[in-house]
Amino acid sequence: MQKGNISKYKPFQQIHLPDREWPNATLETAPIWASVDLRDGNQALAVPMTVEEKIEYFDLLVAIGFKEIEVGFPSASDTEFRFIRRLIEENRIPDDVTVQVLVQAREHLIRRTFESLEGSRQAIVHLYNSTSPLQRRITFNKSKEAIKAIAVEGAQLIRELKDSIPGTHIRLEYSPESFSDTEVDYALDVCRGVMEVWQPTVENKIILNLPATVEWATPNIHADQIEWFCRNLPDREKAIISLHTHNDRGTGIAATELGLLAGADRVEGTLFGNGERTGNLDIVTVALNLYTQGIDPGLDFSNLEDIRAVYERVTRMQVPERHPYSGDLVFTAFSGSHQDAIKKGMDLRKDKHAEDPQALWQVPYLPIDPQDIGRDYQAIIRINSQSGKGGVAYILATEYGLDLPKPMHPEVGQVVNDAADAASRELKPNEIHELFQQHYVNLEAPLQIHSVDRQETRPSGDVHIIADISLDGSKRRVEGQGNGPISAFVDALNQQKLKDFTLIDYRQHSIGSGSKTTAAAYIRIKLADGSTHNGCGIDSNIELAGLKALVSAFNRSRNL
């Protein structure tokens, strides 16, 4: 890399648009979506999809809700041609779906493309040629006039052929390829030349696709290009302005969203951004971004994991773990403070949702409800050495029904974090549960309860308790009295001079329902030295659960 004065590269040219309007615009509706998975996405695969795989993928796109689908480049290969023919001949294209075919502005390719469409009800013929200075000089060595002539001549041939397929309604799309690197006034001139040939109307609009074939500049410059073009295009009402961004600078999604603010009507892209180099626009992300702003995207991603499964199988690509919305880790928090905030938000959401199922989604760190896209709450919080008290409590609550008292969270969280740190890895929910059981639940050493006989004393209503216990392996019988079983047992320990603590908290709840219901009890004690210790008891008998919780807390105070 060069240092200091970089002479190898130059800044991208700004667009003179001092009164630009897109910064103050807002998105209110979804654009027209056009999938190019079966062309741009497929050509970027190391192993392209077979015809059968492309048919499965086409069916997936239809199920998601795409109404415009670029199905291939039929003049490029026999496989592409056969795939389109199968869609048509096997009547696989729904009446409300328009297939799109891509073709360069070359006569024999255009004629072959029209052959592929015979028998279709409706189709978009997508004509393109490169217009950028780099392409004009290096690839074609042609002048501006010659490059424009290529576009116009291709448009003329398509106009001649578009009525040659009886019963097929042909719509027309033109792309000045590498629009992102083309002088905007020249790109406009070429598009005007194509429009003059095709003569679009308000009822039968032309699609002018303005591709950022290579992402050269920042998203704001892309927005300026789109707004400038929309402002200066004669008969703007007769054109659908389409975006087709790539991700070379990592900002293809931002460029698309700003391009929509700048006046575009339509978006071409792929599922999960599959495409050449760093990829095409990820339509999933843009659509769900709109959804999180209260805009119906018109595409159904409620089963996003199933969609991803088909995508990964037929393309042999993998969705990265941190990919927006669809990655394995995007609804996961390792940070303790994040986990705590998520747990609090989810708890509050649960209460509000019970009152109003349409309540506003407000959970820290989660811009979308995972259930809306078929994800599971159970994967939201995962535990490693960086995790906190809230995450551990959330796992125990959601996975095992253990609603730990809040004062207990830090201590349990520390136990789990120490184990994760020692293992140098993430802990699974079952491992967290095992640690909780090992350290807190029904502990039997050094103190153990073997049997309990409970009797009420009249008329006071006090409880008299007789228990067989063992301490450090030595068995003994103890008796005590109190206003309940726990206070009576504490009294029994006191009479044995074993009580060196104060009971400061007791809580209990049920786990499960019906005949399988068990009780969980939590007790917190405080020793004379000021230290506090927690215990949990689980039993089908609520009173025994409380006694076991007290014994567990007592045992922890002796074992630590």
pLDDT the model gives residue 141: 93
pLDDT the model gives residue 338: 86
Distance CA 547, CA 493 (A): 12
Tokens of 396: 């125990």
Topology of the domain covering 336-439: Helix Hairpins (1.10.287)
Cross-strand bridge partners of residue 209: 242
pLDDT the model gives residue 380: 66
pLDDT the model gives residue 376: 74
Q: Are 84 and 117 in contact (CB under 8 A)?
A: yes
DSSP string computed for 184-239: HHHHHHHHHHHHHHH---SSSPEEEEEEESS--S-HHHHHHHHHHHHHH-TTGGGE
DSSP string computed for 527-557: ETTS-EEEEEEEESSHHHHHHHHHHHHHHHH
Cross-strand bridge partners of residue 35: 69, 269
Over the chain (560 residues), what is each successive 10-residue block's mean pLDDT? Answer: 91 92 97 97 93 96 98 93 96 98 96 96 97 93 96 96 92 96 97 97 97 96 98 97 97 98 98 96 98 97 96 95 93 83 87 80 93 79 71 89 92 91 89 96 94 76 89 92 90 90 93 86 94 95 94 92
Topology of the domain covering 27-315: TIM Barrel (3.20.20)
pLDDT the model gives residue 93: 98
pLDDT the model gives residue 127: 97
pLDDT the model gives residue 498: 87
Per domain, the residue ranges of the chain are 27-315, 336-439, 447-559
What would be the CATH architecture of the domain defined by 447-559? 2-Layer Sandwich (3.30)
Q: Are 492 and 486 in contact (CB under 8 A)?
A: no
Specify the amino acid at residue 72: G
In SS3 terms, 28-45 reads as CCCCEEEECHHHHHHHCC
